[in-house]
Amino acid sequence: MSRSLHERVRVWIAEDPDDDDRATLQTLLDDGDDAELERRFTNPLTFGTAGLRGPVMAGPAGMNRLTVRRATQGVVAWLHEIGADPSRGVVVGRDARRGSEAFNDEAVAVLLGAGVVVFELPEPLPTPLVPYCVKVLGAAAGIMITASHNPPQDNGYKLYSDDGAQIVPPNDELVERRALAAGVATLASRASELHHVVASDVLSSYRAHFVERFGVGDPSSLRIAYTPLHGVGGTFMMDLFARAGFALVTPVASQFLPDANFPTLPFPNPEEPGALNLAMACADDVAADLVIANDPDADRLGAAVRGAAGWQLLRGDEIGWLLASTLLEEMNDPRDVVATTIVSSTLLAAMAGQAHVRFAQTLTGFKWIARAAVGGVLRFGYEEALGFAVDPCVADKDGLSAALCLARLAHELAARGQSLLDRLDEIESRFGVHSVAQLSLRASGPEGATAIAASLGTLRTSPPSTIGGVAVSEVVDLAQGYAGLAPTDGLLLVLGATGRVVVRPSGTEAKLKAYIEVTSRPSNATSLAHQRDAAAKVVEAIRVDLEGRLRF
């Protein structure tokens, strides 16, 4: 271990406001645990796809009070550099994860100490309320302490610009650079006249807007089982359901209250296998027709529908198609725009084309989707990872309003004797089967990032000529830019008229991900079930082949 790194550890200890974190690092120094110090100091957290995210631990590679303090100093410096008026204020919110309250307190104290007005959410609340409040209050920025759907040991820090969307380059690099150069912070207490608690009528205006937008009037007979997956969405979402006319909603009791340990889940992510098992069991007990799930900070939406063969989990793309099918019907302004990402299904583009609505494709991440409507208004955006924006008043993914929109569609279909699965049949009968699947390889340990980079590098330098028996017609290195999009780390493998595969590292977790789509033209020659089965077999062959090539 070099002397310089030991010196950095000592400097960090001297500045760290947390007694336990200081003691942890001092013990590592005293014990000569250089490997652990390397892990905590060699690769500091950086602003990625959704801000800062990482394990709660002492040192610059972890989420801790000093990391948050410095990040917030970076935010203050960024606001000054871009000429933002500090009197417009910064909205600050938090979820209920480990460390969230302390990290929230640090952000508030640093902002107030720097002379910045603060609008603080009154309690742990869903992430979408921060970007909503930024727009409603005309704030200069917003900060949300959350790690969304990450594992229990993680926490994070999301930063929003004054348009209510997550920051994008070069703002993230500017904040990061200023944070690294931060000195000793000046702190102030909530007794400051600059401190305000977000008023209840602001939060009520969110409820009122979406109840009016997606409410069903008379009480619905639709039965729903709902789970917030131990997150902060529970009480707020149940209140929205009730106000919107969904009276027959049963919460999953064992997952309803916030719990930072997520005791019933290996990973608190509605995408993960088994995450909705308890919700489906609850739905069976109450004879529900629909399962709705939010992730722990309620910015994502998962769902399952009862079908002839039991419960069918809806993929993110399928939920996106369903929401688009109802929202596109309402669009008649030439400024209206719908958008999705390069790793999501291509079906939304076809749906928008038939509806004569402008379509935009973006890089992965809602910070790009939220800004896709250049010169227009984003009326609907989604990403396959269960993120959906159904209304322009929230410039980020919002699992609460998306849940209401999906429930309204299910209610309207049920009134006609149909289900969400029937609507999916209609969509694919009209536009052709779009079979989608995802391969996700999780890395662990300090070598995880290196293993992911090596696996993707091998694919980049030695791309296959066929995958799963399908010829690769073109290989596009997304790091060189593609279709007018900025460069990003990943590869696009075009499979002729059959489909495509995108391989990229996750921006929020230590994963290498592959997104597979196999398509076919609409056909009356064979049944929809037969077409789906044939496409699914091709997808599975591609997935198995890719897993063998990418495994690390």
CA dist 318 and 324 (Å) reads 10
Name the 3-class secondary structure at 207: helix
The 10s digit of each residue's pLDDT in 186-196 is 999 999 999 99
The 10s digit of each residue's pLDDT in 302-341 is 999 999 889 999 999 999 999 999 999 999 999 999 999 9
Which residue in 2, 100, 148, 200 is the catalytic one? 148
The 10s digit of each residue's pLDDT in 519-539 is 999 998 899 999 999 999 999
Q: In what order do the strands lie in the sheet with 310-313?
A: 249-251, 224-227, 290-294, 301-307, 310-313
Does pLDDT of 447 surpass 90? no
Q: Residues 445-449: what's their mean pLDDT?
A: 74
Contacts of 161 (CB under 8 A, 6+ apart): 141, 167, 171
What pLDDT is recorded for position 49? Answer: 67
Q: In what order do the strands lie in the sheet with 474-477?
A: 434-442, 511-519, 499-505, 491-494, 474-477
Name the 3-class secondary structure at 158: strand
The 10s digit of each residue's pLDDT in 424-433 is 999 999 999 9
Q: Residues 469-490: what's their mean pLDDT?
A: 94
Average pLDDT over the chain reads 95
The residue ranking higher by pLDDT, 248 or 443, is 248
The 10s digit of each residue's pLDDT in 233-243 is 999 999 999 99
Does pLDDT of 284 surpass 60? yes
What pLDDT is recorded for position 507? Answer: 75
Name the 3-class secondary structure at 54: strand
CA dist 115 and 338 (Å) reads 39
**Strand 195-197 to 118-120 pairing:** parallel
CA dist 57 and 507 (Å) reads 20
Does pLDDT of 2 surpass 70? no
What pLDDT is recorded for position 446? Answer: 63
DSSP state letter for 246: -
Q: What percent of the chain has pLDDT over 90?
A: 92
The tokens of 430 are what?
Answer: 């009209």
The 10s digit of each residue's pLDDT in 67-77 is 999 999 999 99
CA dist 53 and 63 (Å) reads 7
User: Quick one: pLDDT band at residue 1, thresholds 50, 70, 90?
Assistant: very low
Bridge partner list, 518: 435, 499
The whole-model pTM stands at 0.95
Is 148 in the active site? yes
Does pLDDT of 99 surpass 80? yes
**Nearest C-alpha neighbor of 459 from the set 514, 498, 508, 384:** 514
